[in-house]
Structure 1
Amino acid sequence: MTLAAPVVAIMQPYFLPYMGYFQLAATADKFVIYDNIKYTKKGWINRNRLLANGEESIFSLPIQKASDSAPIGERELAGSFERTKLLNQFRGAYTHAPAFADFFPVLCVIVEFPDNNLFRFLCHSIQQIFNYLEIRAPLITSSSLSVDPEARGEKRVIATCLDLGAKTYINPIGGLELYSARAFEAAGMTLKFLRHVPRRYPQKSVNFIANLSIADVLMSVPRREAQNMIQKDYELI
Structure 2
Amino acid sequence: MSRSRSQSESVALDCRSDVTVAAHQPNYLPWLGYFHKIRASDVFVFLDDVEYTSGSWINRNRIKTPDGWTWLTVPVRGGSSGPIADVTIADEDWCETHRKSLQQNYGNAARFDTVADLFEETYARTRDSLCELNVHLVREIANRLDLECRFVRSSSLGIDATKADRIVDICSELDAGRYFSGTGARSYLDQSRFEANEVALTYQSFDYPDYEQRFDGFIPELSVVDALMNVGLDGTNELLQRMDADGG
Relative to the length of structure 2, the TM-score reads 0.87
Match of 2:177 among 154, 157, 167: 167
AA in 2 matched with 1:100: F
Counterpart residue number, 1:38: 51
Instruction: Tell me how far 1:228 sits from its aligned partner.
Output: 1.6
In the alignment, the residues of structure 2 paired with residue 139 and residue 81 of structure 1 have an alpha-carbon distance, to the nearest angstrom, of 30
Query: Are residue 222 (structure 1) and residue 232 (structure 2) matched?
Result: yes
Counterpart residue number, 1:182: 192
Structure 1 residues 129 and 192 mapped into 2: Cα distance closer, same or farther (>3 Å)?
Answer: same
Instruction: Tell me how far 1:236 sits from its aligned partner.
Output: 4.4
AA in 2 matched with 1:218: L
Q: Give the percent of matched residue pairs that are identical in Structure 1 and Structure 2.
A: 26
Counterpart residue number, 2:158: 146
Instruction: Tell me how far 1:136 sits from its aligned partner.
Output: 1.7
In the alignment, the residues of structure 1 paired with residue 129 and residue 35 of structure 2 have an alpha-carbon distance, to the nearest angstrom, of 22
Structure 1 residues 82 and 58 mapped into 2: Cα distance closer, same or farther (>3 Å)?
Answer: closer
CA contact (8 A) 1:66 1:75 kept: no
Instruction: Tell me how far 1:80 sits from its aligned partner.
Output: 4.6
CA RMSD of aligned residues (A): 1.8
Counterpart residue number, 1:74: 86
Structure number with greater CO (CA < 8 Å, separation at least 6) is 2
AA in 2 matched with 1:58: W
Counterpart residue number, 2:10: none
List gaps (5 residues or longer) in structure 1: none
Match of 1:213 among 202, 223, 240: 223
In the alignment, the residues of structure 2 paired with residue 75 and residue 81 of structure 1 have an alpha-carbon distance, to the nearest angstrom, of 17
AA in 2 matched with 1:96: N
AA in 1 matched with 2:226: D
Relative to the length of structure 1, the TM-score reads 0.91
CA contact (8 A) 1:50 1:58 kept: yes
Runs of 4+ in 1 over 6 A off after TM superposition: none
List gaps (5 residues or longer) in structure 2: 1-15
